[in-house]
Amino acid sequence: MRQATASRLSGTFTALITPFTDAGEVDEFALRRLVRRQIEAGIQGLVPCGTTGEAVTLDPEEHERVVAVVAEEARRSPRPVRVIAGCGSNDTRKAQKLAKRCGKAGADALLVVTPYYNKPTQKGLIEHFRAVADAGELSIVLYNVPGRTGVNMLPETVLALAEDPRIVAVKEASLSLDQACEILRSRPAGFAVLSGEDSLALPMIACGADGLIAVVSNEAPRSTSELVAAGLSGDRDRAAALQAKLFPLMRANFRESNPIPVKWAMQRLGVCGGALRLPLVPLSASHHAAVEEALRIVGLLGADGKPVEGAL
């Protein structure tokens, strides 16, 4: 099934926030506006219903609807924009059901996180991902983020799964360049390695990675896309300059648990509301100034504190 992705995944993919109304419902109008902003900025792909999208607080019907809305907007794009829908769970059966829903909703591929809380063995991880692949007809992007899940998927496990043609990429967010390099040096042809940490995208690309699944591109999609494109094309000076420009915002986005800061920032920019679902709560006032300053450095807020019209 590796050929189903048409080519190896490459570029910038935005881990989308899920806008909610003040009443706590999914805000479809704001979601469509968010997606159109991403497409206008040149993003290669969209990743709804992941960690940044508060997927664990969405019920199955909401989850499917969010993916469907994103897929509808992606299909309206004048250029190809891939939709990689999150369908992870610590219950393999639930992940299988979500995989089917995401396929029905129009996703192009699935982002499947390692099961959290259960702490499965490496053999258990292999069986989990293969079972999810069995349940659907879409390609799988593995997602390794031990800081959130409590389990680290080792390079040898990733490489074993990479031999399955249905498994086409890994979002590597272990914070270990050594681990990423172990995967990169032995991966099969066609298998993509994408950074799952914004600030490590450029170092990973220098080691051979193919791109980034980003949080910061919610706020600054064009600059993030240009950073990754410059890194992939070998334009070192341009990539380094963009990294320096975006780095304060990359850091500010993790002053509290993701997506708390980025949702506050998106509200500050007037893109959508900043409502979160419990147990997440709004960004502490002590962090507001740092996030605002990072938005100014990127050029999204002016010196007058107002959003810069047309800035992406």
Q: Distance between CA 75 and CA 206 in Å, rounded?
A: 32
Peptide bond into 307 cis (omega under 30): no
Amino acid at 166: R
pTM of the model: 0.95
Q: Distance between CA 196 and CA 172 in Å, rounded?
A: 5
Question: Has residue 6 got a pLDDT over 80?
Answer: no
Peptide bond into 279 cis (omega under 30): yes
What is the band of 312 on the pLDDT scale with cuts at 50, 70, 90?
confident
Q: Distance between CA 221 and CA 182 in Å, rounded?
A: 29
Each residue of 264-298: pLDDT tens digit? 999 999 999 999 999 999 999 999 999 999 999 99
H/E/C letters for each residue in the chain? CHHHHCCCCCEEEEECCCCECCCCCECHHHHHHHHHHHHHHCCCEEECCCCCCCHHHCCHHHHHHHHHHHHHHHHCCCCCCEEEEECCCCCHHHHHHHHHHHHHHCCCEEEEECCCCCCCCHHHHHHHHHHHHHHCCCEEEEEECHHHHCCCCCHHHHHHHHCCCCEEEEEECCCCHHHHHHHHHHCCCCCEEEECCHHHHHHHHHCCCCEEEECHHHCCHHHHHHHHHHHHHCCHHHHHHHHHHHHHHHHHCCCCCCCHHHHHHHHHCCCCCCCCCCCCCCCCHHHHHHHHHHHHHHCCECCCCCECCCCC
Question: Has residue 238 got a pLDDT over 80?
Answer: yes
Indicate the class that CATH gives domain 2-233.
alpha beta
Q: Distance between CA 212 and CA 202 in Å, rounded?
A: 9
Question: Has residue 4 got a pLDDT over 50?
Answer: no
Catalytic residue among 171, 245, 263, 306: 171
What's the pLDDT score for residue 99?
Answer: 97
User: Region 17-37: what's the mean pLDDT?
Assistant: 97
- Considering the chain, what percentage of its residues have pLDDT values greater than 70? 98
Write down the domain spans for the chain.
Answer: 2-233
CB atoms within 10 A of CB 57: 16
Q: Distance between CA 218 and CA 19 in Å, rounded?
A: 12
- Average pLDDT across the chain, whole number: 96
Looking up tokens 């100014």 gives 296
Question: Has residue 5 got a pLDDT over 50?
Answer: no
Question: Has residue 215 got a pLDDT over 80?
Answer: yes
Each residue of 55-68: pLDDT tens digit? 999 999 999 999 99
What's the pLDDT score for residue 136?
Answer: 78
What's the pLDDT score for residue 2?
Answer: 42
User: Region 127-139: what's the mean pLDDT?
Assistant: 94
Catalytic residue among 117, 119, 123, 143: 143
Residues 6+ apart with CB under 8 A from 226: 42, 238, 242
Counting Cα atoms < 13 Å in the Cβ hemisphere of 221 gives: 23
Is 97 catalytic? The answer is no
Each residue of 76-85: pLDDT tens digit? 999 999 999 9
The answer to whether residues 83 and 48 touch, using CB atoms and an 8 Å cutoff, is: yes
What is the band of 3 on the pLDDT scale with cuts at 50, 70, 90?
very low
Q: Distance between CA 310 and CA 312 in Å, rounded?
A: 6
* Bridge partners (DSSP) listed for residue 144: 172
Is 119 catalytic? The answer is no
